[in-house]
Amino acid sequence: MKALISLSLLLSVLQVHCHHVPGHPKDSGGHRDKMIFELPHPPVQEEQGQNLTYAHEIAPSNTNFAFRFHKHIALGQAAKNIFFSPVSISSAFAALSLGAKSETQSQIYKGLAFNLSETEEHKIHKGFHQLISVLNEPNNKALISTGNALFIDEPLKILPKFLEDVKTLYGAEAFSSNFQNSSAAKTQINDYVLAKTHGKIPNAVGELNRGTVMVLLNYIFFKAHWKFRFNTDFTKEEDFFVDADTTVKVNLMYRNGYYNFLHDEELSCSVVEIPYKGDVTALFILPDEGKMKQVEDGLSMEFLDRCKRSFIYEEMHLYLPKISISGSYDVQDILQRMGVTDVFSDAADLSGITREPSLKVSKAIHKAVVDIHEGGTEAAGVTVIEFSPQFESDAPNPIFKVNRPYMFLIMEKKTRSALFLGKIVNPNEK
């Protein structure tokens, strides 16, 4: 009987705070602008002028993985809100692949949308190395911090090569834990997570599975300001049309300004780009009436490239809902539907982590929350994996009014990476 390894592969935190502009009302999130402490950066910094060739090479796969993962969530939750961090999930499983062998490793790469005949294995890991380095670069306009941690049962002997690779390539910290005292191990992990998320995730780990011998944890933290903030004085309650039979009240934020915009005839949707300060931007995608599934099915890297080529920078009236939603997902179930099966079964070959005992993943859970307001966005998420508006044009300037189900994507521009992906069906659904 294979021993179980409890592997927490994702902890995602997104915080975009408002910046108080003199003469503008200060919104309720303004007092949080000051960070309590600095997050340590993983030891993967590159020298100035770094070459991002490998990070750019893995970006299409990471983005396509994001869209595939979203589609599988949406299959059983067409009328539900969705929010998750694809880059954190893919980073975590890529780190895990360092210890996987044979078919187990092949399935992980394929599940993450990598084709080894097109992208060599070492380039994948170098790509994540560069991605982590860029996301952790000090920036006075936007803060993104990401890293990994291993919590290892004291008797468990980890192979030196895996430990060195996961530290060097993925910036992992390693800690000794006593999983025989599951309460103490849980407290140790939760305290670490609490610190890394500035108190956003107080209980990342519930009861650890019996037989747990290791936890691998990945987190991402993001804090930035809208490049052009919304004035709270203009936020008004209006109708949001969930479907033909359901209408709810929502606070719509408003701003008149210049934005990149297009109406994509191929996918039948309108897209507006709303930038943050720094190298981060958000795409808000508003499907035409009744076209949400068509948009979800058609999301791809090609669509994003088409947007970039076709955007028109123009003045518009922008209306965006204030939202606060959460999501919880069984990553194991979703990845199994995507063809990643062996790592969750007795067929798992994780002999690159430790030869004895044999290991397998017994659970993989992802949770995330997001709050979008006039100043920006705040969000937090955690995944634990255990082994054992209708577009209108009747005004002088175009109107982009998000008053029906829509999607949004938060991108880091230097690495072309999708950090967060969401679908909002009902903004009042918590």
Per-residue pLDDT of the chain in tens (430 residues, 90 and over written 9): 444 444 444 445 444 433 333 333 333 333 322 222 222 334 444 434 568 999 999 999 999 999 999 999 999 777 899 999 999 899 989 999 999 999 999 999 999 999 999 999 999 999 999 999 999 888 767 778 888 888 998 888 899 999 999 999 999 999 999 989 999 999 998 898 888 877 777 777 778 888 888 888 888 777 778 899 999 999 999 999 999 999 999 999 999 999 999 999 999 999 999 999 889 999 999 999 999 999 999 999 999 999 999 999 999 999 999 988 877 788 889 999 999 999 988 899 999 998 777 888 777 777 776 667 676 554 444 444 444 422 334 445 788 999 999 999 999 999 999 999 999 999 998 6
Phi, psi of 238 (to 5 degrees): -140, 175
Could you tell me if 164 and 189 lie in one domain?
yes
Indicate whether 18 belongs to any domain. Answer: yes
Q: What is the CATH number of the domain that holds 123?
A: 3.30.497.10
Q: Give every strand in the sheet of 377-387, ordered side by side.
A: 172-177, 142-153, 214-224, 6-15, 377-387, 361-372, 323-330
Percent of the chain predicted with pLDDT > 70: 82
Could you tell me if 197 and 287 lie in one domain?
no
Could you tell me if 26 and 59 lie in one domain?
yes
User: Structurally, how many domains does the chain consist of?
Assistant: 2
Could you tell me if 115 and 173 lie in one domain?
yes
Indicate whether 139 belongs to any domain. Answer: yes
The span from the first CA to the last CA of the chain, in angstroms, equals 41
Indicate whether 1 belongs to any domain. Answer: no
Instruction: Encode pLDDT of 124-183 as tens digits.
Output: 999 999 999 999 888 767 778 888 888 998 888 899 999 999 999 999 999 999 989 999
* CA-based nearest residue to 404, from 324, 319, 299: 319
Instruction: Encode pLDDT of 394-404 as tens digits.
Output: 445 788 999 99
Indicate whether 12 belongs to any domain. Answer: yes
Q: What is the CATH number of the domain that holds 417?
A: 2.30.39.10
Could you tell me if 19 and 73 lie in one domain?
yes
DSSP 276: B
CA distance 136 to 159: 27
Could you tell me if 278 and 345 lie in one domain?
no
Could you tell me if 271 and 336 lie in one domain?
no
Indicate whether 430 belongs to any domain. Answer: no
CA distance 161 to 170: 13
Q: List CB contacts of 344: < 8 A, sequence separation 6 or more.
A: 332, 335, 336, 360, 361, 362, 364
Could you tell me if 416 and 286 lie in one domain?
yes
Indicate whether 65 belongs to any domain. Answer: yes
| Amino acid identity for residue 117 in this structure | S
Could you tell me if 300 and 203 lie in one domain?
no
Which tokens go with 198? 């500035």
Spatial contact of 191 and 183, defined as CB atoms under 8 Å apart: no
Could you tell me if 140 and 117 lie in one domain?
yes
Could you tell me if 117 and 239 lie in one domain?
no
Instruction: Encode pLDDT of 309-338 as tens digits.
Output: 999 999 999 999 998 887 778 888 999 999
| Full domain range(s) for residue 301 | 232-321+390-424
Indicate whether 429 belongs to any domain. Answer: no
Indicate whether 40 belongs to any domain. Answer: no
